[in-house]
């Protein structure tokens, strides 16, 4: 098994340099896993690293999913078949620009819970999950003939807290399940002291200044092996921002510095993939920054798996230190299928009985209280006052569309500077409707406890309003009846198209504003063309079917279009260097 001696890694008592790349199985369709792994191996890497998102595997308390995109054991088995080693970084918390950092939203239903701590309730939930998850890895450990050579304890904990009892809990869990493997922590150089444990190897996460980073490691833990668990070669994007890139040669030169000092390396990311569905996270610093659907990350492979110039630059550097393999020739191609006419449309308000669950309560409940982790919730109540009434929109997380008596009146957003709003109620008896979108829970920092929906009753016109109807819309069910009565947005648009062969493609939504796209019932993710930088959604070929395909667009705000295009290249706005 993997060990450390005299500040170096050894595997089977032989010196070993970990050359790894990050691939998140849950961000890439299973049919493409082999393609991505073969490209990783062709670069000259010997290991693949992956996070494991708790919320993806236990979406509801006690209900587990390990199939399809969630089939972690199949991913590990494929890596083994290609003679690749595996580094596993389990939950509970992964960050990864993923919804709530991988923590399940149902945790927030307990108001007393203390996330990422040794608080008993939180640990009970983690242990119950680990009782299902961790036994799956035992047979895949290296000493049992599998490819797993290392597992992480928590994730960048030094940038969050200082509860060493919590970190030691993970050592006990691994021991409980017989996972006798190499354990490590990873943190940024300035946070490693709070996130480390005695007797556990400390690794670092950074993107530059190699000597400075390892100098701090040597001061903190002398004679530690040099390992960059996250070598940041790109960055992620957020809505209403610009597309981030990192110069290819700059990334390659820092990699050369790492090789010169004999460091082990994990490229974050080798292949980023896609935040399908509602699974993007968010950062919340001065304001709220929701992550876009694409997790391209300006990585060594593009979102759709194509080899980049950065990949080639890194391989050229690596060729000076090891014998690199021949390039892998992928058979996966992109295709422009052309225009698709959306022949049917219907208002979301006409479909509530088919696509939502109704809950009545005296006050509005948060999405977590409603057991509604993602998507949208419609809140409705009666207001029996006439005239202008003011309220504070800080009760609404994250974005909402407000209607009075069936008429759209305004939009609120978590980042609005002006929170004090006035609504005009024209009648003595009025219907107030507020459609709220969860745009992704914070995945990093102090705002992990990030409730969505209407999180407290509205103080409207200097009084509370009671007796609310709530419609839970997660879009697991899509409308079948496109009989239109109401003309309000949001609207579902449906079209069909035929294909003879299956290729990757991109959905171009020019002329649409904001919403989601579904292909044959699968949620590709969010688009927000009026914000950018992402202007197209990646559609992997395996999600198509030979013959007839159904595409549904949920447009939240406005459009005058009834066609979309399937194109062969992605589209993003100007790059941010």
Answer yes or no: is pLDDT of 577 > 80. no
- Overall average pLDDT of the 427-432 stretch: 98
- Overall average pLDDT of the 421-426 stretch: 98
At 337, is the secondary structure helix, strand, or coil? coil
pLDDT, tens only, 499-558: 999 999 999 999 999 999 999 999 999 999 999 999 999 999 999 999 999 999 999 999
In whole angstroms, how far apart are CA 113 and each of 61, 149, 570?
A: 15, 33, 42
Domains of the chain in start order, with CATH, are 2-318 (3.20.20.80), 338-345+479-576 (2.60.120.260), 352-473 (2.60.120.260)
Contacts of 308-311 with C-beta under 8 Å, sequence gap 24+, read: 308/248, 309/248, 310/233, 310/234, 310/246, 310/248, 310/251, 310/252, 311/39, 311/43
Encoding tokens for residue 445?
Answer: 């920092």
- Provide the β-strand partners of residue 340: 564
At 153, is the secondary structure helix, strand, or coil? coil
Backbone angles phi, psi at 263, to 5 degrees: -75, 145
| pLDDT band per the 50, 70, 90 thresholds, residue 575 | very low
pLDDT, tens only, 205-218: 999 999 999 999 99
User: How far from chain centre, in Å, is Cα 395?
Assistant: 25
pLDDT at 573: 67
Instruction: Classify residue 198 as exposed, middle or buried by CB count within 10 Å of its CB (0-12, 13-18, 19+).
Output: exposed
- Provide the β-strand partners of residue 5: 8
Is the preceding omega at residue 378 within 30 degrees of 0, hence cis?
no
- Overall average pLDDT of the 357-377 stretch: 97
At 149, is the secondary structure helix, strand, or coil? strand
pLDDT at 484: 84
Give the mean pLDDT of the chain: 97
- Overall average pLDDT of the 5-33 stretch: 97
Nearest of 267, 293, 179 to residue 540 by alpha carbon: 293
Cβ within 8 Å of residue 334, ≥6 positions away: 304, 503, 504, 505, 506, 568, 569
Nearest of 192, 160, 191 to residue 447 by alpha carbon: 160
Rounded to an integer, what distance in angstroms lies between the CA atom of residue 311 and that of residue 302?
10
Encoding tokens for residue 299?
Answer: 């990585």
Rounded to an integer, what distance in angstroms lies between the CA atom of residue 86 and that of residue 142?
9
Answer yes or no: is pLDDT of 574 > 90. no
Share of the chain above pLDDT 70, in %: 99
- Overall average pLDDT of the 87-115 stretch: 97
What is the four-CA torsion angle of 69, 450, 403, 476, rounded to 10 degrees? 20
pLDDT, tens only, 431-487: 999 999 999 999 999 999 999 999 999 999 999 999 999 999 988 889 999 998 999
Alpha helices in 334-376 (DSSP H): 352-355
- Provide the β-strand partners of residue 407: 404
- Overall average pLDDT of the 267-287 stretch: 97
Give the chain's largest Cα–Cα span: 82
The sign of the CA dihedral 238, 240, 245, 246 is negative
Residues with catalytic annotation?
156, 230
- Please list, residue by residue across 10-43, b when 16 or more beta carbons sit within 10 angstroms of its beta carbon and e when fewer do: ebeeeebbbbbbbbbbbbbbbebbebbbbbbbbb
pLDDT, tens only, 301-347: 999 999 999 999 999 999 999 999 999 999 999 999 999 999 999 99
SS3 per-residue string spanning 185-250:
EEECCCCHHHHCCCCCEEEEEECCCHHHHHHHHHHHCCCCCCEEEEEECCCCCECCCCEECCCHHH
Could you tell me the pTM of the whole model? 0.97
pLDDT at 408: 98
Rounded to an integer, what distance in angstroms lies between the CA atom of residue 20 and that of residue 38?
13
pLDDT at 531: 97
- Overall average pLDDT of the 176-189 stretch: 98
| pLDDT band per the 50, 70, 90 thresholds, residue 160 | very high
Comparing 8-12, 137-141, 182-186, 480-484, the range with the smallest average pLDDT is 480-484
Encoding tokens for residue 470?
Answer: 């709530």
| pLDDT band per the 50, 70, 90 thresholds, residue 158 | very high
Backbone angles phi, psi at 225, to 5 degrees: -65, 145
- Are the C-beta atoms of 364 and 470 separated by less than 8 Å? yes
Comparing 104-118, 163-177, 378-392, 472-486, the range with the smallest average pLDDT is 472-486
Answer yes or no: is pLDDT of 576 > 60. no
């Amino acid at each position: 098994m993997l060990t450390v001696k005299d500040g170096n890694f050894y595997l089977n008592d032989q010196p070993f340099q970990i050359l790894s790349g990050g691939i998140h199985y849950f961000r890439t369709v299973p049919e493409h896993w082999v393609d991505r792994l073969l490209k990783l191996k062709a670069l000259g890497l010997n290991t693949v690293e992956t996070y494991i998102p708790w919320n993806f595997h236990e979406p509801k308390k006690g209900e587990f999913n390990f199939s399809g995109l969630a089939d972690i054991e199949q991913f590990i088995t494929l890596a083994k078949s290609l003679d690749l080693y595996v580094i596993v970084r389990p939950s509970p918390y992964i960050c990864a620009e993923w919804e709530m950092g991988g923590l399940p939203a149902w945790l927030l239903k307990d108001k007393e819970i203390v996330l990422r701590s040794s608080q008993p309730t939180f640990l009970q939930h983690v242990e119950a999950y680990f009782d299902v998850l961790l036994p799956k890895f035992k047979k895949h450990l290296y000493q049992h003939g599998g490819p797993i050579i290392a597992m992480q304890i928590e994730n960048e904990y030094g940038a969050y807290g200082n509860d060493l009892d919590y970190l030691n809990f993970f050592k006990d869990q691994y021991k409980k399940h017989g996972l006798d493997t190499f354990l490590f922590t990873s943190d940024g150089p300035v946070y490693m002291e709070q996130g480390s444990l005695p007797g556990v190897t400390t690794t670092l996460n950074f993107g530059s200044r190699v000597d400075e980073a390892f100098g701090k490691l040597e001061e903190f833990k002398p004679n530690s092996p040099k390992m960059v668990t996250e070598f940041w070669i790109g960055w992620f994007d957020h809505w209403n921002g610009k597309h981030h890139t990192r110069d290819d040669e700059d990334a390659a030169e820092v990699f050369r510095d790492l090789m010169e000092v004999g460091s082990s390396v994990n490229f974050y990311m080798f292949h980023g993939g896609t935040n399908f569905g509602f699974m993007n996270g968010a950062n919340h610093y001065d304001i709220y920054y929701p992550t876009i659907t694409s997790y391209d990350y300006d990585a060594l492979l593009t979102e759709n798996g194509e080899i980049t110039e950065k990949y080639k630059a890194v391989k050229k550097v690596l060729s000076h230190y090891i014998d690199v393999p021949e390039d892998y020739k992928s058979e996966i191609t992109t295709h422009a299928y052309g225009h698709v006419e959306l022949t049917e449309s219907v208002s979301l308000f006409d479909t509530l009985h088919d696509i939502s669950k109704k809950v009545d309560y005296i006050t509005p409940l948060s999405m977590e209280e409603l057991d509604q982790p993602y998507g949208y919730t419609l809140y409705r109540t009666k207001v029996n006052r006439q005239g202008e009434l003011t309220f504070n929109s800080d009760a609404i997380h994250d974005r909402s569309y407000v209607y009075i008596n069936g008429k759209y009146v305004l939009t609120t957003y978590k980042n609005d500077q002006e929170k004090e709003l006035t609504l005009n109620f024209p009648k003595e008896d009025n219907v107030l409707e507020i459609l709220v979108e969860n745009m992704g829970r914070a995945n990093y920092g102090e705002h992990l406890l990030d409730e969505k929906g209407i999180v407290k009753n509205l103080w409207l016109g200097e009084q509370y309003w009671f007796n609310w109807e709530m419609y839970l819309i997660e879009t697991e069910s899509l409308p079948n009846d496109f009989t239109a009565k109401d003309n309000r947005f949001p609207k579902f648009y449906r079209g069909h198209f035929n294909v003879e062969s299956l290729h990757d493609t991109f959905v171009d939504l020019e002329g649409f504003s904001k919403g989601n796209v579904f292909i044959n019932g699968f949620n590709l993710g969010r688009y927000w063309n009026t914000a950018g930088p992402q202007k197209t959604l990646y559609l992997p070929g395996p999600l198509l079917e030979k013959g007839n395909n159904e595409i549904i667009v949920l447009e939240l705000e406005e459009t005058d279009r009834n066609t979309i295009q399937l194109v062969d290249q992605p589209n993003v706005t100007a790059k941010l260097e």
